[in-house]
Structure 1
Amino acid sequence: MPRRFRLSRRTLAPALVGLLLAAGFGLYLFQPWKAFTSTTVDEALPSASAPSMRESGTSTARPAAPRDLAEGRFVTHEHTTSGTARTVRLADGGQVLRLEDLKTSEGPDVRVYLSPRDAGAVTTGLGAGAVELGKLKGNLGNQNYAVPNGTDLSKFRSAVIWCARFSVPFGAANLAPAAG
């Protein structure tokens, strides 16, 4: 007659605690519910106020319009990603990275970067000198990220949606100089 395997309370309780801890850690790490959620953001392009005619002392002063510096379309890496990335100089001299019609996945710890590498090369990392612009505000829509003052945008070749938790790009867009 074969012997039956029996778990005692001494072995069952630690095994259950270990299983619960592993499951909790897995849920924290992977956040699987984000595969079924979306966050839409619809921000307008910031408009910096230029000096008024009264403040400037001339009647010919007109607010300067924001000026596109570079732009590109997103390509997919680890998650399907589409939309456009634009770098824009505002009337007050500030700079923003604008993501338009963005569609990507939500994920744990997703951030927006400017990278000195082109969109294809970021699969091996962001590259030395990459600049983080902040957490991704939403996985759908239009959003703006302030570029730190003094940042030379000519040193960056791509905008990257990056999962910091797993060190992988969701998608990236090459930034080519804007026409005109």
Structure 2
Amino acid sequence: MGRGRRVLTRPLVIAVLVAAVGGVGFGLYWFQPWKLWQDKTVEEALPGVVATAAPPAGAPSYKPSEQPSATSPHTLATGQLISHEHATSGTVQLIRLADGSHVVRLENLDTSNGPDLRVLLTDAPVKEGKVGWHVFDDGNYISLGKLKGNKGSQNYALPRGVDPSSYSSVSIWCDRFDVSFGAAELARV
């Protein structure tokens, strides 16, 4: 009788172990906890702005007020990131480039890394605390793409034909858990 019980419990133990390993594997894939300790810094220049080097010897020098003018990027709106689900800081700018296109620029971004982070341009109001965590996919929004890095300064192009004046905020959005890591209300300049 003891041998029969042992034979019946072995498949049960194996099934429980397989289920436990599968559950742990799924949990690791879904939550990706290692990203909390992995930072990715991205430093991008603003498109359309050419870094200038010192003029070559013999070239005319200009005072800043005499620099030859060219159509340059124009800031339409700015905002400060506030923390939601994770501590988040930095500034956001909505910029019209010389060619008429628009970008959202994150400057000095500092947030946690996480699974499936995106940059959303939305019409939702920015609210502090937990009441502001889940509102950014409720109304009109545009995903500008995956977050390139959780630290640094980055640019996200708006699709052609999008009227940026229809949107009032930017969120660092975790699409996997439908939660904002941080957001900024855009104030027109």
| Alignment partner of 1:93 out of 77, 93, 100 | 100
| Alignment partner of 2:87 out of 76, 80, 87 | 80
Query: Comparing 64-73 with 126-135, which one deviates more in the overlay?
Result: 126-135
Give the equivalent residue in structure 2 for 1:123. Answer: 133
Between the aligned residues of both structures, percent identity stands at: 48
4+ runs deviating over 3 angstroms: none
Counting only pairs closer than 5 Å after superposition, residues 140-159 of structure 1 correspond to structure 2 as 140-159=151-170
Asked if the contact 2:42/2:152 (under 8 Å) is kept, the reply is yes
Asked if the contact 1:158/1:174 (under 8 Å) is kept, the reply is yes
CA distance in 2 between counterparts of 1:77 and 1:128 reads 18
Q: Return the letter of the residue paired with 2:117.
A: V
Asked if the contact 1:48/1:90 (under 8 Å) is kept, the reply is no
**TM-score of the aligned structures, taking structure 1 as reference length:** 0.85
CA distance in 2 between counterparts of 1:143 and 1:26 reads 30
The runs of 5 or more residues in structure 1 that have no matched partner are 50-60
**How many residue pairs align between the two structures?**
163
Give the equivalent residue in structure 1 for 2:41. Answer: 40
The runs of 5 or more residues in structure 2 that have no matched partner are 51-67
Query: Comparing 99-108 with 126-135, which one deviates more in the overlay?
Result: 126-135
Can you list the C-alpha shifts for 1:16-43, whole angstroms capped at 9, x where unaligned? 0000000000000000101111000000
Q: Return the letter of the residue paired with 2:86.
A: H
Q: Return the letter of the residue paired with 2:72.
A: A
Shift in Å at residue 125 of structure 1?
A: 2.3
Aligned CA RMSD, in angstroms, stands at 1.8
Counting only pairs closer than 5 Å after superposition, residues 155-170 of structure 1 correspond to structure 2 as 155-170=166-181
Give the equivalent residue in structure 2 for 1:58. Answer: none
CA distance in 1 between counterparts of 2:165 and 2:14 reads 60
| Alignment partner of 2:185 out of 165, 171, 174 | 174
Asked if the contact 2:93/2:105 (under 8 Å) is kept, the reply is yes
